Structure 1
């Protein structure tokens, strides 16, 4: 029989097929990206209301709507930008709310991004196998359960290990009481793995700039969170001997992540080595620890162990680029993702060589992936450009500081030159939009582009414009 679904008539063989097809044509099934936006919006509103309660502030007074909304957005989007001093402004209840929002935001992003990636892979894979079949089966319950359990288990294992290391250091090295040491360890471990950048010290981690026992566990946590669950899952499989070949995604992510981190570490350490306001006053060992930390943290971790506002403009520009690129897909890192950056570099190299097809990691790259990577990158550039211009118009700060703030918000990094709290409320609202768009935008945008892919039934005459 033939039934009408939406604006189209489709043939179905049986009532069971009709029910299955109708499920696939529900708005949520056809546009799963909308569910991500709606879900994060609900968590954001709940967090804002909780932070506005008088009990959430140390003073016992209600927090303004904009300040609560900004802080909740920064926590849910695991960014780390703040308009109030976290350790002195928020009460224990407020800090607990922040910790819960960070955990929910990080787990939500990893889980939903992984499931969307699985949905895209399953749909496109079946499309290639079945040819003309337009609609495909949804992800099986077994796959969903495996992804969700894997994300939660991985998150808790890394967070517990990091918290244990930090707790020991706070207790032994800084003589914190046992309860306080555990609290500090857990909070910073969760913040680190989720690439949130929130710290319970007014100077963030500046007081620990030369301490590798604090810096190394935090770096390890935010690197693992920033690589993304699919890559972590593949690493575990290789360690256990259950896999013999790396996937294209894992190879691209690991290679590009390592290369960009190396460039960041070398460049920032070299530029800031003699800067008396950043690394210059530390010993050689301390400079190396702080330099490595600040070369890695633009992967969207957001912590800082030196005063970012005193960094050389060249260091700020390099950090801008690294923050914009971000970390791995389906992880807690933001940005356009290292895979997008690597694919665009591969496309450019192919064009320079004059080749007709793009090959990456021993595989041919579909033309649709070129367009998706280009679209995501240019959309990010456009969003940052517009936001920067708006901030320059409505705030008293210069281009270096404003551009850094915009890129940090879009990349959900959380580092700042120190202007966040001094921005007018209108500018803070712009930053809120940037953080939200930067957190859910690249994921939903890329998945929507992939899921909308379809064959065109006709083509137009070809003509080449002048390029360059």
Structure 2
């Protein structure tokens, strides 16, 4: 090959090469900004597609506010909507919803890594760092990370494989459970096949959209149908790193599980049971919800609502019929959400667990935070505090803006805002009545909640900058 035709190293001549080089350079400077950009571009593409006449059932253009909100809700796997999802969209529109939630469920950083893999044609170190950071937010800050992380860098290939396989296997399994129940209910084979696949995707991705006008009302007392949805939601909410650990250690002793896996499973079960018990106590005398049910139905429906309040989005009762105390309990469950690197939202169960471990350690007067005979480093606590504070700040700002725009009751505004931030999808009905200004505010809340408070903060601040000096130490009074 002559010198005139040989490509100069580091300076690709082809357009595709230039694009790959530009992407790699941008991703190297800030993986978190690159991931957010990918998510934003996906939302813009789906906004355009949802606005097209082919996407609506009436063959008309969908207004920008509705198409943008739907795109954000789909890509962020939230489940809130400003239109009737079952009747407004055409077959093409429903396919867009189905594809969008699958893309969004993969996760913002993991999705950016996969796109980088497609562009660069190999999964290099930078792409591995971005994929690992989706399961370990500490990586977005750069620098060394302890080996006790949720997913080690060398396991990223396994993680991406697990993401794809788990989605197919779990959604397929839930669909197989739902399909015969729909046939027994008298639904024709074609409709039952489509709706079972649709429901299974909405359960595993924790989205909560329904393809039919009546939703799950026809199966509101069907334990098999509702139980299958609960299984899909729970598996989607525990997180891909936990699924990877369970699959890898299925035949081994549970003591080999990492502290992340143990904390996620234990905290998730505690929240599930605690939420169900609180709903039983608070709603047993409410004739609009569980007051007319017998004991068995009350217990089951309470566990169903507790599962869905963490991020699932399905509901067998009108949410606005709940007592104010139950709405507040649901607010707390939604704000906590599911596991890290999962299809659920919220500040994550491990964040809550670390905060409680720190509080218990302080109450006992010990310096270190310990769990399952492992010490949790202080930087994890700092990250947990940052996540909780950023999340609370986003919820507070959004609530104030929507209160000013709508003049609606505080409990309803706070509920729908937390549902948007935590990408849950439950609603008091306020979202459907929002004016365009409120729609845009809630869409921004969903976006911030899905991309993650840590990722967003790292993208906006130069968190990779090293501090070369330390100020004198002085202790303020707290508490």
* TM-score past 0.5 threshold: yes
Find the counterpart in structure 1 of residue 171 from structure 2.
159
1:127 to 1:435, Cα distance in 2 relative to 1, 3 A: closer
Q: After TM superposition, give the deviation of residue 285 of structure 1 in Å.
A: 3.3
Q: Deviations over 1:368-393 (max 9, x none)?
A: 11111101100100110111111111
1:395 lines up with 2:412 in the alignment: no
Q: Which residue of 2 aligns with 1:175?
A: 186
How far 1:466 moved relative to its partner? 1.8
**Contact 1:210–1:289, Cα closer than 8 Å, also in 2:** no
Contact conserved, 1:376 with 1:442, CA < 8 A, in 2?
Answer: yes
Structure-to-structure mapping, 1:415-454, within 5 angstroms: 415-442=426-453, 444-445=455-456, 452=463
| Structure-2 change in CA distance of 1:46 and 1:242 (3 Å) | farther
**Is contact 1:171-1:177 (8 Å) kept?**
yes
Find 1:326's aligned residue among 311, 326, 337.
337
Specify the alignment match of 2:5 in structure 1.
none
Deviation at 1:456, TM superposition (A): 4.4
Report the CA distance between 1:46 and its aligned residue. Answer: 1.3
Q: CA RMSD in A?
A: 2.8
Taking the TM superposition and a 5 Å limit, the aligned residue runs for 1:27-426 are 27-109=26-108, 111-112=110-111, 115-117=132-134, 127=144, 143-172=155-184, 174-241=185-252, 244-426=255-437
For the 8 Å contact 2:135–2:341, the answer to whether it is kept is no
For structure 2, list consecutive stretches of 5 or more residues without a partner in the other structure.
1-8, 11-20, 112-129
- Structure 1 consecutive aligned stretches of length 4 or more whose deviation exceeds 4 Å: 22-25, 117-126, 445-456
1:462 aligns with 2:461: no
What is the alpha-carbon distance in structure 1 between the residues aligned to residue 294 and residue 45 of structure 2?
A: 46
Query: What is the CA-CA distance between 1:122 and the residue it aligns to?
Result: 7.9
Alpha-carbon contact 2:354-2:381 (below 8 Å) kept: yes
1:160 and 1:186 in contact (8 A); partners too: yes
CA pair 120-284 structure 1, distance change in 2 beyond 3 A = closer
Q: CA 1:201–1:95 in 2, change beyond 3 Å: closer, same or farther?
A: same
When residues 119 and 228 of structure 1 are mapped into structure 2, their CA distance, relative to the original with a 3 A threshold, is closer
Contact 2:140 2:458 in 1 (8 A): no
Kindly state the Cα deviation for residue 284 of structure 1 after the two structures are TM-superposed: 3.6
In structure 2, relative to structure 1, the CA distance for the partners of 1:242 and 1:290 (3 Å cut) is: closer
Write the deviation string for residues 183-205 of structure 1: whole angstroms up to 9, x where unpaired. 11000000100001111234532
Instruction: Specify whether residues 122 and 323 from structure 1 end up closer, same or farther in structure 2 by C-alpha distance, changes over 3 A only.
Output: closer
Distance 1:371 1:183, change over 3 A: same
Structure 1 residues 400, 187: closer, same or farther in 2, change over 3 A?
Answer: same
CA distance in 2: counterparts of 1:282 and 1:128, whole angstroms: 51
| 2-structure distance, mates of 1:441, 1:124 | 14
CA contact under 8 A between 2:133 and 2:139: conserved in structure 1?
Answer: no
Distance of aligned partners of 1:372 and 1:243 in 2 relative to their CA distance in 1, 3 Å threshold: same
Whole-angstrom CA distance in 1 between matches of 2:142 and 2:390: 27
CA offsets 1:313-344 (integer angstroms, 9 cap, x no match): 00000000010010000010000000111101
Aligned counterparts of 1:37 and 1:128: Cα–Cα separation in 2: 22
Contact in 2 for aligned 1:114/1:230 (Cα 8 Å): no
Deviations 1:222-274 (A, max 9, x none): 10010001111111122133875120100111111111111111111221122
